[in-house]
Homo-oligomer: A and B are copies of this chain.
Amino acid sequence: MTTSDAHTPASAQQHDTTAPARALGAHKAYVEGERAGLRVPVRRVHLSDGRALTLYDTSGPYTDPSVTTDVRRGLDTPRAPWIAARGDTETYPGRVVRPEDDGLQHTVPRGGAGGLDAVFPGRPRRPRRARSAAPVTQLAYARRGEITAEMEYAALREGVAPEVVREELAAGRAVLPANINHPESEPMVIGKRFLVKINANIGNSAVTSSIEEEVEKMTWATRWGADTVMDLSTGRNIHTTREWILRNSPVPIGTVPLYQALEKTGGKAEELSWELYRDTIVEQAEQGVDYMTVHAGVRLAYVPLTARRTTGIVSRGGSIMAAWCLAHHQESFLYTHFEELCEILAAYDVTFSLGDGLRPGSVADANDEAQFAELRTLGELTAVAREHGVQTMVEGPGHVPMHKIKENVELQQEVCDGAPFYTLGPLTTDVAPGYDHITSGIGAAMIAWWGTAMLCYVTPKEHLGLPDRDDVKTGVITYKIAAHAADLAKGHPGAQEWDDALSRARFDFRWEDQFNLSLDPETARAFHDETLPAEPAKTAHFCSMCGPKFCSMRISRDISERFGAESEAELSKEEIAAGMMEKSREFAASGNRVYLPLAE
């Protein structure tokens, strides 16, 4: 494994979504794999003591100053040669894009051809699908014992052997969402043996927001650490928004196809049909959606179980399917057509994210009959999907008080045979709208420690409005905290290195290193500067909490040095005790200086 660095100039614009580096002093670097041309991006923090720390990087080519990106052209396609080389897929004309795909039933079709050309200006591309009925999924390859380029890539990011990734995929305990029509993506793996991942939701709605804003939200979210992004757009321009996002996204993109299907009916749930849904799935698979939330566990018989709940059904997908079931008094078409769905997803390597349409929307409804009845069905569907070679993860709640969280992971792992769990929060109390990134960050950290593989973020605007740029960042940082806290608690190899590097920088008063090692260097620096704005304070051997006169860290360093902790030698307790009197005399001889004057 060799590495290369791409230095970031100090003039990098920190506030620009696609500025070259996360913070002054951070470098975009690459770790090269065994396979020719396989380069995995990392973020490298060079410390002032000459050491460096390498961190996982989700920000894509945008933060590499040697790469020029253009949102109208899209990203390069590193996966394209790998996909082609496998020889099990073919390009084909693809489904014709219709105005209805963008919710434009009542206007004239766009452009002449009505194809992707009209939707996205850069590099129109014919979609690709499996050449035969055999699945072209990472699960199928893993089961055959093949280590794909995608697996090697993900393994390098995780710092594990590629065989570990293959094993976990083959067993269904991990997924590697990588639609063959999203060759722009940088492969990553989701499973409890790996680093805990986080997802950021974006998406316009009928009420507000634009295509450009959504693309920028994606770039912004991945810049701060989102491992995947879900596009939950509703209303107009769904197809076009998604195309722009996919062509510019270095991370896997997830969707809830039901949302678009509903738009095509003009919002009438009872007019949904398997055929319409099927067509939407193909449409999105051809675009390159990496994973799809499918609420196939909302069965007719479970709907009445929600009637006496405090907050009924709060999942949009769940309530759409419940309405359809009620209107037709039939079993959900997602459930009855699940095997056909599997066949489609297998032909593009779209990963299932089995939706929890009956998740609790309040702590009062947590772990109730409706929720767990659906979960057992998701277990049954996980087994069916695996038979078809389709990668599968399972979604979880929601609103759950702390003492009921563990049961959720344990039951999911049991009934879904270890399939990756992907949870929204959970929120541990309902009383703090405006702060639900925090109410849910608590639950997220706990559930991830206990085995959840990916956490869907919650922003401060949850329950109140649509997240803006600041909310997206706050949500991502909060969830990076939850995920990393869980990595630490799980004893993930290497996780604590990061904490230790930052803590050592703090103890040594290396302020710049402390900022650069932070999850959010900009905020850390800004907060420090509010109290101690002068430049010398960046190297001051004190902080504003205790002031220059008496600093606990400074005294503590004295103690540390007095007892020779800087040396390699391991002293016994007896040696330390014996040396103590001597050290005490030295302390007195030094003038008992326990504080550091400003000038020093």
Chain A residues packing against B (C-beta within 8 Å): 205-208, 234-235, 262, 267-270, 301, 303-304, 306-316, 318-320, 322-323, 326-329, 361-364, 399, 401-403, 428-435, 437-439, 441-442, 445-446, 449, 460-461, 463-466, 468, 477-478, 480-482, 484-486, 488-491, 496, 498-500, 502-504, 506-507, 514-515, 517-520, 523-524, 526-528, 530-532, 543-550, 552-553, 555-560, 562-565, 573, 576-577, 580-581, 583-584, 587-588, 592, 594-595
What distance in Å separates the Cβ of A219 from its nearest Cβ neighbour in chain B?
A: 22
Given the complex of chains A and B, what is the CA–CA distance between A511 and B249 in angstroms? 37
Supposing A517-B431, A524-B434, A594-B327 touch, asked if A206 and B549 sit within 8 A by C-beta, the answer is yes
| Interface pair A323/B465, CB less than 8 Å apart | no
| Interface pair A556/B477, CB less than 8 Å apart | no
| Interface pair A518/B433, CB less than 8 Å apart | yes
Given the complex of chains A and B, what is the CA–CA distance between A576 and B326 in angstroms? 13
Question: With a CB–CB cut-off of 8 A, which chain B residues contact A531?
Answer: 207-208, 461, 464-466
Supposing A262-B550, A430-B502 touch, asked if A435 and B477 sit within 8 A by C-beta, the answer is yes
Known: A364-B496, A429-B484, A433-B527; 17 extra A-B contacts, CB below 8 A, are A267-B549, A307-B560, A311-B503, A311-B506, A311-B556, A314-B553, A319-B555, A320-B550, A326-B562, A327-B587, A327-B592, A402-B486, A428-B485, A432-B519, A433-B502, A446-B446, A461-B530
Consensus secondary structure, chain A interface: helix
| Interface pair B435/A523, CB less than 8 Å apart | yes
| Interface pair B363/A556, CB less than 8 Å apart | no
7 A-B residue pairings within 8 Å (CB atoms)? A303-B580, A314-B552, A319-B555, A320-B555, A364-B496, A429-B499, A465-B530
Question: With a CB–CB cut-off of 8 A, which chain B residues contact A584?
Answer: 326-329
How often does this chain occur in the complex, in copies? 2
| Interface pair A481/B429, CB less than 8 Å apart | yes
| Interface pair B506/A463, CB less than 8 Å apart | yes
| Interface pair B514/A316, CB less than 8 Å apart | no
Question: With a CB–CB cut-off of 8 A, which chain B residues contact A431?
Answer: 481, 484, 498-499, 502, 517-519
Question: With a CB–CB cut-off of 8 A, which chain B residues contact A439?
Answer: 481, 485
Supposing A304-B577, A477-B432 touch, asked if A465 and B403 sit within 8 A by C-beta, the answer is no
Of the candidates B206, B446, B527, which one forms a contact with A464 in the assembled complex, judged by CB atoms under 8 Å apart? B527
| Interface pair A312/B559, CB less than 8 Å apart | yes
Question: With a CB–CB cut-off of 8 A, which chain B residues contact A587?
Answer: 326-327
Nearest chain B residue, comparing its CB with the CB of A402: B489
Given the complex of chains A and B, what is the CA–CA distance between A329 and B481 in angstroms? 42
| Interface pair A270/B507, CB less than 8 Å apart | no
Of the candidates B206, B433, B518, B581, which one forms a contact with A547 in the assembled complex, judged by CB atoms under 8 Å apart? B206
